[in-house]
Amino acid sequence: MAVDGAVAEGIVFLKYFRDLPDPRQAGKVVYPLDEILLLCLLAVLAGAETFTAIARFGAKKLDLLRRFLPFRDGTLAHDHLGDIFATLDAEKFQYCFVAWASARPGAPADVIAIDGKTLRRSGDKKGAKAAIHMVSAFAARQRLVLGQVKVAEKSNEIVAIPKLLEMMAIEGAIVTIDAMGCQRDIARKIIDKKADYVLALKGNQGSLREDVEVFVAEQKVRDFQDTTISRHQTVDGDHGRIEIRTTTVIHDVAWLQQRHNWPGLKRIVMVESYRESDGKIEQETRFSLTSLLLTAAQLGSIVRSHWAIENSLHWVMDMIFRDDECRVRTDHAPANFTTIKHMALNLLRNAKGKDSLRLRRKVAAWDEDFLASFIAA
pLDDT in tens, 98-143: 999 988 776 677 999 999 988 766 656 565 567 788 899 999 989 9
Domain-located, residue 274: yes
| Tens of pLDDT, residues 48-93 | 999 999 999 999 999 999 999 999 999 999 999 999 999 999 999 9
Domain-located, residue 105: no
pLDDT at position 31, please? 95
Query: Do the Cβ atoms of 112 and 174 come closer than 8 Å?
Result: yes
More confident residue, 331 or 213: 213
What's the mean per-residue pLDDT of the chain?
Answer: 89
Domain-located, residue 121: no
Instruction: Give the Å distances, CA to CA, from 57 to 50, 218, 365, 374.
Output: 11, 64, 10, 17
Helix, strand or coil, per DSSP, at residue 137? strand
Domain-located, residue 110: no
Among 303, 20, 316, 370, residue whose Cα is nearest residue 144: 316
Q: Does the pLDDT value for residue 5 go beyond 50?
A: no
**Distance between CA atoms of 151 and 155, rounded to whole angstroms?**
6
CATH code of the domain in which 245 resides: 3.30.1300
Is there a single domain that holds both residue 204 and residue 265?
yes
pLDDT at position 282, please? 92
Largest Cα span, the chain = 78
Look at residues 238, 271, 292 and tell me which one is the last residue of a structural domain.
Answer: 292
Query: Do the Cβ atoms of 344 and 320 come closer than 8 Å?
Result: no
pTM: 0.89
* 3-class SS letters over 37-75: HHHHHHHHHCCCCCHHHHHHHHHHCHHHHCCCCCCCCCC
Could you list the residue range(s) of the whole structural domain that residue 341 is in?
Answer: 5-96+330-375
To the nearest 10 degrees (0 to 180), the angle between helices 90-102 and 333-350 is 10
Task: Provide the domain count of the chain.
Answer: 2
Q: Does the pLDDT value for residue 35 go beyond 60?
A: yes
Instruction: Give the Å distances, CA to CA, from 101 to 18, 106, 129, 189, 376.
Output: 15, 10, 31, 21, 15
To the nearest 10 degrees (0 to 180), the angle between helices 184-192 and 157-167 is 0
Q: Does the pLDDT value for residue 272 go beyond 90?
A: yes
Domain-located, residue 194: no
Q: What angle do CA 314, 319, 322 make, to 5 degrees?
A: 90
Is there a single domain that holds both residue 272 and residue 221?
yes
pLDDT at position 352, please? 86
Look at residues 270, 292, 314 and tell me which one is the last residue of a structural domain.
Answer: 292
Is there a single domain that holds both residue 212 and residue 275?
yes
Domain-located, residue 307: no
Q: Does the pLDDT value for residue 299 go beyond 60?
A: yes
